Structure 1
Amino acid sequence: MIVDQLVLSKKESKTKYEADKKSERPIRSVAKAVSWRVIGTLDTLLISYILTGEVAIAASIASIDFITKMFLYFFHERLWNKINWGK
């Protein structure tokens, strides 16, 4: 893929850029948010359990963490998708 990008002319590269710029859909952001939050929530659950020693408290903390951070990540991802810097 890197070799292809180096070989492409500016015109072809610009066309590919325009296609890539529009390829990120909200459903992809949702999938990324959910998958990342599963990993993050397992981490929070483990740390909460280590600190409190109680499964119920750790699960409560992890549940709240899962919901709030998934929404925050989704909107963060959508905002960054609108920013052209670095694309």
Structure 2
Amino acid sequence: MERPKRTVVKAVIWNINGLLVMSLVGYVMTGSAGVGGLMAVVNTAIGLSLYFLYERIWSRISWGRLNA
């Protein structure tokens, strides 16, 4: 089982990557850095919250784990 702090760090790093990619995609699609950035921030906030919950749920499921 992971500690919540590890889950948060993983989620933040993953979402920083997603923020950068989504900013670029938003800019390319709209031609506006402001709109692209706003899209990225909203997407990142939603994604970070859902990723944290997803990881915490899976940390409680023992299926498929190897006991080392």
Q: Same fold (TM over 0.5)?
A: yes
Please, which runs of 5 or more residues in structure 2 have no aligned partner? none
What amino acid is aligned across from residue 32 of structure 1 in structure 2? K
Partner of 2:26: 48
Of the two, which has the highest radius of gyration?
1
1:75 matched to 2:53? The reply is yes
Structure with the bigger RCO (C-alpha within 8 Å, sep 6+) is: 2
Give the number of the structure whose residues are more often helix, by fraction: 1
- Matched residues in 2 for 1:45 and 1:81: separation? 30
Q: CA deviation at 1:65?
A: 0.8
TM-score normalized with structure 1 length: 0.72
Aligned residues: 65
Partner of 2:3: 25
- Matched residues in 2 for 1:68 and 1:29: separation? 16
Question: What SS does structure 1 have at the residue aligned with 2:12?
Answer: helix
TM-score normalized with structure 2 length: 0.91
Partner of 1:63: 41
Give the RMSD, CA atoms, in angstroms.
0.7
Please, which runs of 5 or more residues in structure 1 have no aligned partner? 1-21
